[in-house]
Structure 1
Amino acid sequence: MEPKSIDCPRIKSKLHTTTISTAYNIILQIGLRLFSFIINAFILRFITKETLGIINVRLLLLYTTIQFITREPFRRTCAPNNSIDLDDNQDDGDETKKSKNQQNDWSKVVNITFLSIPLSFVTGLTFSIIWYKFFERPEHLLYEYQWAIMSIYVSVIIESMAETFFIYGQRYDYIRLKVIVEGIFQTVRCSLLALFVYISPEHSVFGFAIAQLIASTIYSLTYFSYFLFKKKIPMTTFLPNFLSDKDDNNESSSSSSSSSSSLLETSLTFFYNSLLKQFLTEGERYIMTMFSVISFAEQGVYDVINNLGSLPARIIFQQIEENGYILFSSLIKRDLDTSQQITKILKSLSICSNLTKLMAIIGLTLFTYGYHGASIVLSVYGGQNFINGSFGQLAIHLFQWHCIYMIFIAINGILESYSFAVMNTRQLNRFNTNLLIISIIFTIISLIIISYVGSVGFIMANCLNMMTRIIVSLLFIGNIYPNYSLWIFIRQTRPNFHTIISYVLIFIGLSIVYRWLGLADIFLWSKAILFIIINVIIIICHFIIIIYFFEKELCLFVRNELLFFKSLKNKQN
């Protein structure tokens, strides 16, 4: 049995909301990355590669580790709203009952989400001690390093106090709020860091500590101000039952306790899952930090290339993955047997297969047109001295391998978001076991490859890691219900054969042009600009051919479902 077209108005409405949210987030990320691109290019000209490695690898890794572990489990569990009802014929009594159920659900969500605050205290303190006591430290910057670790610990606690507000915004479709708050946070942190680096580059680590604290404080205050003062929502809405003076009858309390236990169990599962996923996502940084396999300076170069190479992942892939998870979670109840929701599963698989195909094409595009532009991008970003220095060739090779890595990231992101949204607690535990095995294998492979090829080995190992995770997700999807199979999903997901051939031919052609212009040997801006113009012309023609000749079904999905053109046309008629 194969998935049918998406024809439920409620699903279309949710899909439309998800698309708008993704679009807003992509616009935010593009704006932030352009701003960050300028700021980082500015900072690179004032601080050493060693200091850059301390800030962008060691300290930011501590921040993302504590932050991800203390809030990701609750966001995965609580951010998705109630499931979508396929029945549009509801009377007023049903709507009243649904509204009351939503209020009860929210009180249970608050009780669970509020746990992120004490968790941030415990987890933050634990990892801060580990970072300071057990890992290699920059002795010449030890005092500033101490203050930076402390500022990260405090800033995560401050941000956790606004987590309930964030969950509320996600559940009730405050689409632009997250975009605005995240934009303010990143802008303040980057701007203050650039200012401190410009004023006193020798104290850049201390400047980072101050910038982080101020940005986190503004982040939380913005959420508080918006909901409490602008929307005038009572503070009790965001407090758990034992703090909000709400009284429930015994039956309600019993039901709430049972449901809260279920949410807590799922959160604990996601907590374990978050630990593994964070290690697999930032695996190379953990290996750098724990084993000191490369110097702080080389870590700085790796981070610059990683930020550039993973730009599409942060701008596009992450937004589609996060919003896709919310959509799939709204569509399917994870603890309900699949035989009782076949229609919803079929529709969700149709969405997932189309999104995966779209992501695969985006990944192939980034690899095909980005691989030969490494030296050009790095010259713009870090200046000619950056690629002509002692780490220049390393930077180019790292960037090229990141282009390959993008293909795997693109495909894995949407597959995992679907798997995590659909799996029940037992399946999540089994998946976590698989992730644990993958993380151990990844660590061993990374250490082996790095000993032969250096820091490029991190990206090679990441490619193998992502490939394994893709296979695990595909095996789950292929067995989601008895009458479905892996080959049905792959057949619907894989790009057209002619599409793949077109990418192969264009890659070969661009390789010939790149060498014909001599950019592989001597970098000249006149030739680089000519190469960029050729790329732009080819990519425009290429997409027109793909859209109108090779991928007609995908084009219809994007136009009619994601962009909602069909619904708008029907309304006009």
Structure 2
Amino acid sequence: AVIFKAIVTVLVLMWAGDIAALLAFGCGQLAYASVLVAGYRWQSQVVADRSKSRDEKTTMLAWALSKQSLVKQFLTEGDKLIVSRVSPIEDQGGYAVALNYGSLIARIVFQPVEESSRLYFSQALNGREQDDKSAKADTARAWQVLSSLITAHLHLALLLVTIAPPLVPPLLHHVLGARWSATSAPVVLQAYCYFIPALGLNGSTEAFMQAVASPDQLARVSRLMTVFSAIYIAACYVFVQTMGLKERGLIYANIVNMALRIMLCSRFIKRYFEKRKITTASKIWRPGTIVILAFAASGALTRYTVAKVDVYGLRGFLVAASAGALLASACLALSAYCERDRLKLLLTRQR
């Protein structure tokens, strides 16, 4: 599907030129979806030919996940509709640029991790009795993997929240030019630094819940997500209209929504493992105090450097970016050393 998307996009661009860039993107997405639908249809037909009986459990699970997808699609597209209502056209462009750059990590890193995690948890935790010895061992290993994923997301959050925000506006200025720096793109991308960790953490915890929850549990989750949608709309009104934060307010409203979903998944995870006599204490997955202090100090030093040099000049930007990169590397090295055993386990399971 990815190959077909790339081929169709290139062919449309070659045929119609750069003026049809949006059309090429749309045609590529349509080709991607069409190949996926055709592949799933072919595979489901193969399974149906092998067994004439209908799997009610699978059907109910698919329906529950489909309802969740509809709610998520509404939340994904809702902010774009709000931006088109409250923002001038140049700020709409800035929001789109920030959204595309900010979502690169989600598309490149989070999506493969989320999909592989969902597959691993589904295979490891479904289909066996709880009192089976091998099932208990698989459950313990699954918690090790999940807690390692949570730890990795929290370390990434420390990096993005402390060091990245002060470097975003000058980076955007030097990459895209002063034209885009004058739009809402810098402040939106700064806010995105706080949203990305919530997005990744929600993806991994939700992948676990979807992998092991029953259809009835997923149906209850879908109903709660409808409530979260109402809270999201209320948060949008507060941040955008009452507080006047405009595009940045939409990111904060999304953070509120993600926080609610993370709390829901965390509650499910805690109950799931404690029912199986596995402790989920926060000391198992949270970063160490030394690591948190190191990131906090690095963030303060980065902000001090940005304030003292002309970051919109090339030399000043290189000084600030080098300082930020050096501090980030030192913090990540400290994190890797403190979490070396957990990191080794996570890399092994993700393969």
Q: Same fold (TM over 0.5)?
A: yes
The one of 264, 268, 271 equivalent to 1:476 is: 268
Structure 2 length-normalised TM: 0.86
Partner of 2:95: 302
Larger radius of gyration: 1
In the aligned structure 1, how far is the partner of 2:42 from the partner of 2:261? Answer: 39
Give the CA deviation at 1:471.
0.8
**Where in structure 2 are the equivalents of 1:124-523 lying within 5 Å?**
181-183=1-3, 185-186=5-6, 188-189=8-9, 192=12, 196=16, 198=18, 200=19, 204=20, 208-209=22-23, 212-213=26-27, 216-217=30-31, 238=43, 240=45, 246=49, 253=52, 256-257=53-54, 259=55, 261-288=56-83, 292-333=85-126, 338=130, 341-387=135-181, 389=182, 391=183, 394-451=184-241, 452-483=244-275, 488-519=280-311, 523=312
Which piece of structure 1 moves more, 551-560 or 356-365?
Answer: 551-560
In the aligned structure 1, how far is the partner of 2:326 from the partner of 2:179? Answer: 30
In the aligned structure 2, how far is the partner of 1:264 from the partner of 1:325? Answer: 18
Unaligned runs of 5+ in 2: none
Amino acid corresponding to residue 362 of structure 1 in structure 2:
L
After superposition, the Cα gap between the structure-2 partners of 1:309 and 1:187, relative to the gap in structure 1 and judged at 3 Å, is farther
1:545 aligns with 2:350: no
After superposition, the Cα gap between the structure-2 partners of 1:265 and 1:219, relative to the gap in structure 1 and judged at 3 Å, is closer
Does the 8 A contact of 1:357 with 1:495 survive in 2?
yes
SS in 2 for 1:528: helix
After superposition, the Cα gap between the structure-2 partners of 1:288 and 1:398, relative to the gap in structure 1 and judged at 3 Å, is closer
After superposition, the Cα gap between the structure-2 partners of 1:237 and 1:488, relative to the gap in structure 1 and judged at 3 Å, is closer
Q: CA RMSD in A?
A: 3.2
After superposition, the Cα gap between the structure-2 partners of 1:194 and 1:354, relative to the gap in structure 1 and judged at 3 Å, is farther
Give the CA deviation at 1:551.
2.0
Give the CA deviation at 1:196.
4.8
Does the 8 A contact of 1:477 with 1:486 survive in 2?
no
Amino acid corresponding to residue 419 of structure 1 in structure 2:
M
After superposition, the Cα gap between the structure-2 partners of 1:404 and 1:217, relative to the gap in structure 1 and judged at 3 Å, is closer
Does the 8 A contact of 1:367 with 1:406 survive in 2?
no
**Where in structure 2 are the equivalents of 1:65-76 lying within 5 Å?**
none
After superposition, the Cα gap between the structure-2 partners of 1:313 and 1:197, relative to the gap in structure 1 and judged at 3 Å, is same
Give the CA deviation at 1:505.
0.7
Give the CA deviation at 1:420.
0.9
Amino acid corresponding to residue 66 of structure 2 in structure 1:
F
Partner of 1:112: none
Structure 1 vs Structure 2: percent identity of aligned residues? 20
Give the CA deviation at 1:191.
7.8
After superposition, the Cα gap between the structure-2 partners of 1:511 and 1:187, relative to the gap in structure 1 and judged at 3 Å, is farther
Q: Over residues 306-351 of structure 1, what are the superposed CA-to-partner deviations in whole Å (9 max), with x where a residue is unaligned?
A: 11122212211121111111111111227x7655644332221111
Amino acid corresponding to residue 212 of structure 1 in structure 2:
G
Q: Over residues 1-57 of structure 1, what are the superposed CA-to-partner deviations in whole Å (9 max), with x where a residue is unaligned?
A: xxxxxxxxxxxxxxxxxxxxxxxxxxxxxxxxxxxxxxxxxxxxxxxxxxxxxxxxx
Does the 8 A contact of 2:162 with 2:300 survive in 1?
no
Q: Over residues 480-509 of structure 1, what are the superposed CA-to-partner deviations in whole Å (9 max), with x where a residue is unaligned?
A: 155468972433211112111111110001
SS in 2 for 1:479: helix
Structure 1 length-normalised TM: 0.55
Give the CA deviation at 1:399.
1.2
Amino acid corresponding to residue 152 of structure 2 in structure 1:
L
Does the 8 A contact of 1:358 with 1:554 survive in 2?
no
Aligned residues: 346
After superposition, the Cα gap between the structure-2 partners of 1:493 and 1:214, relative to the gap in structure 1 and judged at 3 Å, is closer
SS in 2 for 1:495: coil
Unaligned runs of 5+ in 1: 1-180, 228-235, 564-573
After superposition, the Cα gap between the structure-2 partners of 1:528 and 1:445, relative to the gap in structure 1 and judged at 3 Å, is same
Amino acid corresponding to residue 554 of structure 1 in structure 2:
R
In the aligned structure 2, how far is the partner of 1:533 from the partner of 1:188? Answer: 40
Partner of 1:16: none
SS in 2 for 1:377: helix
In the aligned structure 2, how far is the partner of 1:436 from the partner of 1:329? Answer: 25
In the aligned structure 2, how far is the partner of 1:262 from the partner of 1:192? Answer: 42
In the aligned structure 1, how far is the partner of 2:226 from the partner of 2:165? Answer: 32
Partner of 2:343: 555
